[in-house]
Amino acid sequence: MLQDGRVPHALMFTGPEGSGNLPAAFAFVQYLFCQNKQAHDSCGICSSCLKVSKLIHPDLHLVFPIPVSKSVRTSNDLLPEFREVFLETPYTTVHDWFNSLDAENKQPIIPTDEANDILKKLSYTSYEGGYKIMIIWQPEKMNASSANKLLKILEEPPEQT
């Protein structure tokens, strides 16, 4: 897809939980952003590759299920925690993610506030002048009102999004 310049605006990586779909999605993003693309993979050493591999690339946005509370309203509120867990265990599951937060008893959800935040983030121009990427881990954890808010942008996202 990348070599033919035909990257669709939405891709779904599916499979059993913990089977590597999330690391595969990040590897795809790293290849997309790489400044020195190799024949079949990213170079792994350019500044874009390094930023993606640490999950700190400014044009790579992340959404994941959260235990909603007064202090946790969107994924942004737990981004440092998520980075730590993912970088240590790329094949992590929602169960492990919630255990690491001591939130085993809470419901993992992607709430409506998050959907509003996704729309806002994707309306900005990209920081580095290329693609803007939104990775939504476990989109099935969205409630109906979040999912409905995202229909339009899924079908007709802005350029290079």
User: Interface residues with Zn ion (CB under 5 A)?
Assistant: 34, 36, 42-43, 46, 49
C-alpha Rg value of the chain to the nearest Å: 16
Q: For Zn ion, give the closer residue by CB, 33 or 82.
A: 33
CB of 46 to Zn ion, least distance (A): 3
In angstroms, what is the minimal distance from the CB of 125 to Zn ion? 22
* Nearer of residues 36 and 125 to Zn ion, judged by Cβ: 36
Q: Which residue has the tokens 């969205």?
A: 142
Tell me if residue 39 falls in helix, strand or coil.
Answer: coil
Q: Which is closer to Zn ion, CB of 42 or CB of 138?
A: 42
Q: Cα-Cα-Cα-Cα dihedral of 133, 117, 127, 71, to 10°?
A: -110
In the complex, the smallest distance separating the C-beta of residue 149 from Zn ion, rounded to whole angstroms, is 34
Burial of 8 per CB tally in 10 Å (0-12, 13-18, 19+): exposed
Looking at residue 69, its amino acid is S
The least CB distance from residue 59 to Zn ion, in Å, is 14
Q: Which is nearer to Zn ion, 52 or 115 (CB)?
A: 52
